[in-house]
Amino acid sequence: MRGADLLVRTLADSGVKHISSLSGNQIMPIYDACIDSSIELYHVRQEAAAVHMADAWGRLTGQPGIALVTAGPGFANALSALYVAKMAESPMVLLSGHAPTSQLGRGAFQEMAQSDMARPVTKASWTVDDATQIGSSITMAMALARSGRPGPVQVSLPVDLLEAQVQVHGSSAVIAGEGSAALISNKDATDTLELLLGSRRPLVLAGPTLTRGRGRQLANSFAEKSGVPVVAMESPRGINDPSLGALAELLAQADTVLLLGKKLDFTLGFGEPPSLAPECRLVQIDPEPQVLEQTQRVLSNPSRLVLTVLADPTTTLEALLNLTPERERTDTAWYDEVQASVSYRPSEWEALSMGQEGPLHPVQVGRGAADSLRGDAAVFISDGGEYGQWAQSCLTASNRVINGPSGSIGSAIPFAMAARLAFPNAPVMTFLGDGTMGFHLMEFDTAVRYNIPFIAVVGNDATWNAEFQIQLRDYGRDRLVGCELRPTRYDEVVKALGGYGEHVSTPEQLGPALERARDSGLPACIDVSIQRVPSPVIRRG
């Protein structure tokens, strides 16, 4: 068999059902090999979209998503999306074509130091140099993507190795497992639990991995059993994430904070006042030693860090849960206050969601779409920007995918396609602004070609509103420049691509439009005229 056949066979034996990809010269052998396999190719319109699809698949299923792009410019187009996946701690593998090994250093077509370029935005990146090692490289990449702090892995595949004949004896099936995980010791788990239960106002801040799947379930179970609030964070807005309500006000009152797979970075004000009290004790448990070392450097008073442990966050939660005694909690004031703080939304929002004429306030959009996200497996997807923050503050669902700590925009449409593949019978809705829509609008063509229905609710204020609000706030109304867009009817564009589209300009139109979009069975765009308003900053005081 060819190296390409070995690659595809290894992926299939590892349980891979589909690959998101954009074609190119150096990966044509892989396309050919897929014809004789059970793996389906989803051919997108831009390389970053392929990576975003693999990213969302990894977040939603816990299994590594697989993206495939060609060498040179095709590979380079994927780099920014790799950064998004890395910051979101998403298990995925990017397979890239590569110039032939026999021509390296001689000015080969699209020759590029791909592994060097990808290394800063991946967990690991390498170039295969032996066709017989293609299978083991793929297996290793999938295991590595899931181990420790999950993240993207990139493997470059020289085209001459994909075309080379290799001898394989027996099955190539080596299923990519969980990967190695550093387990917390019983002493460290006991010490951590004693610090939390012995504090008056303890708080666990969890990283992105614990916002989904089994990690989220364990976090909820531990909080309920121990009475220690657990707040998972995955937004670039950090403690000012509007989906976390008024948490920022309460965080400064915590006396002990456990950073469980959560980096002490800009999202927490680097652990300094006013984000955290100067006397607040810190415990950090993380799978990466460099993260623990970074915390020591970041803190102005490192003595506040009373315990650091190199361990996997998910298995640590299991250990803490098992050690937590069964007892009836009598003092729930702090726990209840944290929960109320996270769920708090200003009462003024109720007035915004009713009786307004003209362009809709984003709250009206969120409240009007809430009923469409009911269901045990419903998927809520939100891009970044001001409109995205409103959506995140108004909407919840069984499954959520947002732009993540990278602060990127543009991934919402590919995310939605992957969500539909992961949950074929569930409601899938994505919310994005009109600026964001421009990044991957043509992926509606992909969705139509492969019959991947979802609903995109586009907030159309004819502006790059996040930057518009910065200019307005920092420089004044007479210094606004470069942020205006046309009030493009994105619903009409989607209809021209074969999807379903409607325009909404009043609140009462939204619900019926969403029902018709759902019933169409097509990839759908609801273009909503919205007001230009800044993202919410939620305060109770």
Q: What would the DSSP string read from start to end of 218-258? A: HHHHHHHHH---EEE---TTGGG-GGGTTHHHHHTT-SEEE
Q: Which two tokens stand for residue 371?
A: 């009923």
User: Quick one: pLDDT band at residue 465, thresholds 50, 70, 90?
Assistant: very high
> Given this model, what pLDDT does residue 169 score?
61
Mean pLDDT value of segment 531-539: 93
Give the model's pLDDT for residue 172. 47
Token code pair at residue 421 = 């593949």
The structure tokens listed for 264 are: 């002490």
Q: Kindly list the structural domains of the chain, giving each domain's residue range(s) and its CATH number in brackets, ordered by start.
A: 3-163 (3.40.50.970), 186-343 (3.40.50.1220), 348-529 (3.40.50.970)
Mean pLDDT estimate for the chain? 94
The model carries a pTM of 0.95
- The percent of residues above 90 in pLDDT, for the chain, comes to 90
Q: Which residues contact 102 (CB under 8 A, 6 or more apart)?
A: 160
pLDDT value of position 372: 92
Query: What is the per-residue pLDDT for 175?
Result: 43
Those residues whose C-beta lies under 8 Å from the C-beta of residue 333, and which sit 6 or more positions away, are none
Does residue 356 carry a pLDDT above 80?
Answer: no
Q: What's the rounded Cα separation, in Å, for the pair 198 and 489?
A: 58
Q: State yes or no: pLDDT of 178 exceeds 50.
A: no
Cα–Cα distance, 430 to 392 (Å, whole number): 11
Neighbouring C-beta atoms of residue 175, cutoff 10 Å: 10
**Rounded average pLDDT over 360-369:** 95
pLDDT score of 168: 77
Per-residue DSSP letter, 451: T
Pairwise CA distance, residues 417 & 398, whole Å: 17
The confidence score (pLDDT) of residue 214 equals: 93
Q: How confident is the model at residue 345 (pLDDT cuts 50, 70, 90)?
A: very high
List pLDDT tens digits, range 156-166: 999 999 999 99
pLDDT in tens, 258-287: 999 999 999 999 999 999 999 999 999 999
Place of tokens 């706030």: 473
Q: Per residue in 407-421, is it b (16+ CB within 10 Å) or e — as a string?
A: ebbbbbbbbbbbbbb
Higher local confidence (pLDDT), 353 or 325: 325
pLDDT digits (tens, 9 = 90+) for 35-75: 999 999 999 999 999 999 999 999 999 999 999 999 999 99
Q: How many CB atoms lie within 10 A of CB 533?
A: 17
Q: Give 231's strand partners.
A: 205
> pLDDT tens, 210-250?
999 999 999 999 999 999 999 999 999 999 999 999 999 99
The pLDDT, as a whole number, for residue 176 is 43
> What pLDDT was estimated at residue 376?
85
Q: Is the pLDDT of residue 155 over 80?
A: yes
**What is the average per-residue pLDDT within 461-484?**
96
In this structure, the number of other CB atoms found within 10 A of the CB of residue 498 comes to: 13
* Residues sharing a CB contact under 8 Å with residue 525, sequence separation 6 or more, in sequence order: 444, 455, 456, 458, 490, 491, 493, 494, 499, 500, 501, 502
Closest C-alpha to 94, from 27, 156, 26, 14: 156
User: What confidence score (pLDDT) does residue 430 get?
Assistant: 98
Taking only the tens place, the pLDDT of each residue in 486-518 is 999 999 999 999 999 999 999 999 999 999 999
Q: Positive or negative CA dihedral for 515, 517, 521, 525?
A: negative
Report which secondary-structure segment, H or E, holds 283: strand 281-286
Banded pLDDT at 194 (limits 50, 70, 90)? very high
Q: What local confidence, expressed as pLDDT, does residue 350 receive?
A: 84
Has residue 458 got a pLDDT over 60? yes
Q: CA 168 → CA 11, 30, 130, 165, distances in Å?
A: 15, 17, 13, 10
pLDDT over 70 at 171, yes or no:
no
Does residue 187 surpass a pLDDT of 90? Answer: yes
pLDDT band for position 353 (cuts 50, 70, 90): low
In 3D space, the residue among 186, 114, 101, 202 whose CA is nearest the CA of residue 155 turns out to be 114
Rounded mean pLDDT, 104-124: 90
> How far out from the chain centre does Cα 189 lie?
29
